[in-house]
Amino acid sequence: MKHQFEAKIYKIGINWAVDVPAYITAQLKPEKGYIRIKGQINDFDFIQTLVPVKNSPYRLFVNLLMMKGGKTTLGEVAAFAIEQNEVELVKMYAMPKILSAILEKEKLNDDFNALSEARKKDILKYLSFIKTGETMIKNINKLIEQLKSKHKNIRIP
């Protein structure tokens, strides 16, 4: 769903930025505090990340490309249309059938799915390059042990 608002571009430090209204960011889903978005500034497309600011609304940094494309400048009010940019990184690598079976058997599907998208992608990418069944089992067992122990930084190999 696209959310539209207008905001005056201001300078903070060396960066240009606008504050995104709280009623809009309340409808978006943050990942580790940040909100990935895609949108337009004066009908010019961009992809960006909203940054949380303590005791303030989320901030959208406006770069030179966005300023030129949106035909705007510092101090002007620009029209924005933004929406959640949901990127599913895991789709890039298939889950090995043996991993799926072991996760099911050990009842660890929820634990694996609770990992960040980036962590799951790293694990599946690594497993996709393994050539022998013996090495695959060894690495899957290592992953299973870490999931069982609720290890924070799950790593394989």
Domain ranges of the chain: 3-84, 89-148
| CB contact burial 37-60 (16+ within 10 A = b; e otherwise) | bbbbbbebebebebeeeeeebbbb
Mean pLDDT of the chain: 91
Condensed to tens digits (0 to 9), the pLDDT of residues 70-84 reads 999 999 999 999 999
Give the class (CATH, top level) of 3-84.
mainly beta
The tokens of 87 are what? 């990127």
- C-alpha to C-alpha distance for 117 and 39, rounded to whole angstroms: 22
Condensed to tens digits (0 to 9), the pLDDT of residues 1-57 reads 899 999 999 999 999 999 999 999 999 999 889 999 999 999 999 999 999 999 999
> pTM for the full model?
0.58
- C-alpha to C-alpha distance for 97 and 123, rounded to whole angstroms: 14
